[in-house]
Amino acid sequence: MLQKLEEIQEKYEKIGLELSKPEVISNQKEFQKLMKQHNSLEPVVLEYRKYKETKKAIGEIKEIIKGEKDKDMLEMAQEELAAEEVELVNSEEKLKLLLLPKDPNDDKSVIVEIRGGAGGDEAALFAGDLFRMYSRFGETKGWKIDIMDSHESDLGGYKEIVFSIEGNGAYSKLKYESGVHRVQRIPTTESGGRIHTSTVTVAVLPEAEEVDIDVDPNDVRVDLFCSSGPGGQSVNTTKSAVRLTHEPTGIVVSCQDEKSQIKNKDKAMKVLRARLYEKAMEEEIAKVASERKSQVGTGDRSERIRTYNFPQNRITDHRIGLTLHKLDSILEGGMDELVETIITTKQAENLKNQE
């Protein structure tokens, strides 16, 4: 591990020197590429430097203890040694986590697709609740939320909503949200007070840049149509809504939330790139299917991952067996404990697999 850390530190310092060269600074594409690499290595290097400083301090304290005669000073030195040794162990654990293979998509923004499943209007209402939950969680992180496409239901909520969350690290926090979300509650339309069960599917896609996925314009058919509201109600009479069909794969994306045709096309293209990128990732994963499958899935849309029980104010994540009785605060965006527990479980599993 130490040899690997030395190599990382050497690479970090080398990139730092490259970033100071005028020819690199003047080449924005190269500069941004190197800066991204530098930033990704920095947490490891800073923790490694802290580790080395702690180890050095432990050596110095041990030397003091060897020659110390004063009882009080010796006791103080031993207490300080114990504290530094705890710090060293903690630093080692942090370094192990930092050295885990990093998901190359973790720093990306995301495109989230939420669709009502079983349950009709109640599923659509819950899709609206999930959209608000992710939006408010994103706002607490300083991320930008932008609706790409939506189809509202007659009673409120969404039959389907597609939106982007722009912010560094959005994918790392939300990638485990993909799957089937089940809700148990008494619908507003239920006169007998019975609890109904409905489902909503969520897909979280890393936003793909043009450098990540190359889309040939000749492969994309563009159709224009008038946007519409709930129940097919016409919103405008101009053909501002855009539908893109990627003919080689059959993937269809539409966007109608903007009044501008150009803006709708731009948003639809972002979603198309993300879906094509997801498809490419799935194909890559299939190639290495011999690897042991993770207990925490990242993208299986058919997997029931979570239950939201309103009568008991309970939320349960079935993948890790976590139950929290704070559904109300989580739906208002207080997702940190839930999200961090899932990430920590995944990291612990990865560490175990590497042992």
DSSP notation for 207-229: PPPTTT----GGGEEEEEE--B-
Tens-digit pLDDT profile for the chain (355 aa)? 788 899 889 999 999 999 999 999 998 888 888 988 898 889 899 999 999 999 999 999 999 898 878 888 898 999 999 999 999 999 988 888 788 777 778 888 899 999 988 878 889 999 999 999 999 999 999 999 999 888 888 888 899 999 999 988 899 999 999 999 999 998 876 666 788 899 999 999 888 876 567 788 888 888 887 766 544 444 555 677 888 889 888 888 888 877 778 888 888 888 888 888 888 877 766 655 544 344 344 445 567 899 999 999 999 999 999 999 999 999 999 999 999 999 888 877 777 766 5
Count CB-CB contacts under 10 A for residue 120: 16
What Rg, from alpha-carbon coordinates, does the chain have? 26
| DSSP code of residue 281 | H
Count CB-CB contacts under 10 A for residue 78: 14
Q: How far apart are CA 191 and CA 179, in angstroms?
A: 31
Q: How far apart are CA 40 and CA 52, in angstroms?
A: 20
Q: How far apart are CA 76 and CA 144, in angstroms?
A: 51
Query: By 3-state DSSP, what share of the chain in percent is helix, strand and coil, each rounded to 5?
Result: 50, 20, 30
Q: How far apart are CA 249 and CA 276, in angstroms?
A: 8
What is the reported pLDDT for 226?
Answer: 75
Beta-carbon contacts of 312 under 8 Å, excluding residues fewer than 6 positions away, are 325
Q: How far apart are CA 62 and CA 169, in angstroms?
A: 42
- State how far the alpha carbon of 264 is from the alpha carbons of 8, 27, 83, 147, 242, in Å: 43, 32, 58, 11, 6
| DSSP code of residue 294 | P
- SS3 assignment, position 295: coil
- SS3 assignment, position 135: helix
Count CB-CB contacts under 10 A for residue 109: 22
Could you tell me the sign of the dihedral formed by the alpha carbons of 318, 322, 325, 326, in that order?
negative
Strand partners, 5: none
What is the reported pLDDT for 153?
Answer: 86
What is the reported pLDDT for 285?
Answer: 62
What is the reported pLDDT for 302?
Answer: 63
Q: How far apart are CA 97 and CA 92, in angstroms?
A: 9
- SS3 assignment, position 293: coil
Q: Which two tokens stand for residue 136?
A: 């408010």
